[in-house]
Homo-oligomer: A and B are copies of this chain.
Amino acid sequence: MPYEPSAFPPFAVTVDLVVLTVRRHALCALAVRRGEAPYEGKWALPGGFVRADEDLDSAAARELAEETGLQAHDTAGGLPGAHLEQLATYGDPGRDPRMRVVSVAHLALAPDLPSPTPGGDARGARWAPVEDLLVDDASTRRHADDGDKASLAFDHDQILAAGVERARSKIEYSSLATAFCPPEFTVGELRRVYEAVWGVALDPRNFHRKVTGTPGFLVPSGGTTTRQGGRPAQLFRAGGANLLNPPMLRPEV
């Protein structure tokens, strides 16, 4: 079918964000409460319309900054940085009851933020453990009497699940887990990131050997720190290596 630019069905295009962070040893996602119909009062992923003259990545970075004050990493700037990448696009007819909306979902990984409730927007917003948000469809939705644990608006359950799975698999073979850490961090803090994202316990000694033995993954920044009553730990920064080869294996079986 040749292009017929004059006769195309009109779509609205939005970006939705899966913003993940690690808080109190748990993987958490940013959720905002909807202030209008449809799904009024329900929790949803942050997002918004792509502007007429705006690139998709720019729209995602703009929404991220509006909701969290975080600056995407590829752009320069003094704000605290976050990793941002495109995730997948969702365009089922009927995913939004009002009109045909195609949403380009993005995944953002951020270090733990000082503000418990992300600023920018007057609507309610919270960091929620993904374990609470992702009630498995196979299990009953009446898992608890807490209505907040029900599913998200639109198809955002599906989008969140895809983002979490992307993050879980990508830290296996990339240095992306450092995106959850502040600029300087210890091996133990990085290990607790892996443990929170995967939901497993890792051997501290084997983990230490693996991450310090992979060239380019971690660069010692010189200092040491004592955070919780033990031997002071060496501080590291993320090295230049983006790919981990061989990968960090997720314990499974």
Interface on A for B, CB 8 Å cutoff? 1-5, 8-13, 35-36, 48-56, 63, 66, 86, 88-93, 98-100, 102, 104, 123
User: Contact: B51 with A13, CB < 8 Å?
Assistant: no
Contact check, B92 vs A55: say whether CB atoms are below 8 A apart: yes
Q: A5-B12, A13-B11, A13-B13 are in contact. Are A100 and B52 (CB under 8 A)?
A: yes
Residues of chain B contacted by A100 (CB below 8 angstroms): 52
A102 touches B99 (CB 8 A): no
Distance of A142 from chain B, by nearest CB (Å): 29
In contact, B1 and A51 (Cβ under 8 angstroms): no
Task: Tell whether, in the assembled complex, residue B11 and residue A66 are in contact, meaning their CB atoms are under 8 Å apart.
Answer: no
Interface residues of chain A: helix, strand, loop or mixed (majority): loop
What is the count of identical protomers in the complex? 2
A55 to B123, CA, bound (A): 32
Q: A91-B56, A91-B104 are in contact. Are A49 and B4 (CB under 8 A)?
A: yes
What's the least CB distance linking A224 to chain B, in Å? 34
List 20 additional contacts besides A3-B36, A89-B104, A91-B104; criterion CB under 8 Å: A1-B49, A1-B66, A3-B48, A5-B12, A8-B12, A9-B51, A10-B10, A11-B13, A11-B50, A11-B102, A13-B13, A13-B102, A52-B93, A54-B93, A55-B91, A55-B93, A56-B90, A56-B92, A102-B102, A102-B104
Sampled A-B contacts (22; CB under 8 Å): A1-B66, A2-B35, A3-B36, A3-B48, A4-B49, A9-B12, A9-B13, A9-B52, A11-B11, A11-B13, A11-B102, A13-B13, A13-B91, A13-B102, A50-B91, A55-B92, A56-B90, A56-B91, A56-B92, A89-B89, A91-B104, A102-B104
**Which of chain B's residues has its CB closest to A5's CB?**
B98
Is A9 touching B50 in the complex (CB atoms < 8 A)? yes
- Give the interface centre of A9, A52, A91 by most chain B CB atoms within 10 Å: A91
Determine if B9 and A49 form an interchain contact, defined as CB atoms under 8 angstroms apart.
Answer: yes
Q: Which residues of B contact A50 (CB under 8 A)?
A: 9, 11, 91
A55 vs B102: C-alpha distance when bound (angstroms): 10
A27 CB, min distance to chain B CBs, angstroms: 22
Given A5-B98, A12-B11, A99-B5, decide whether A88 and B86 contact each other with a Cβ distance below 8 A: yes
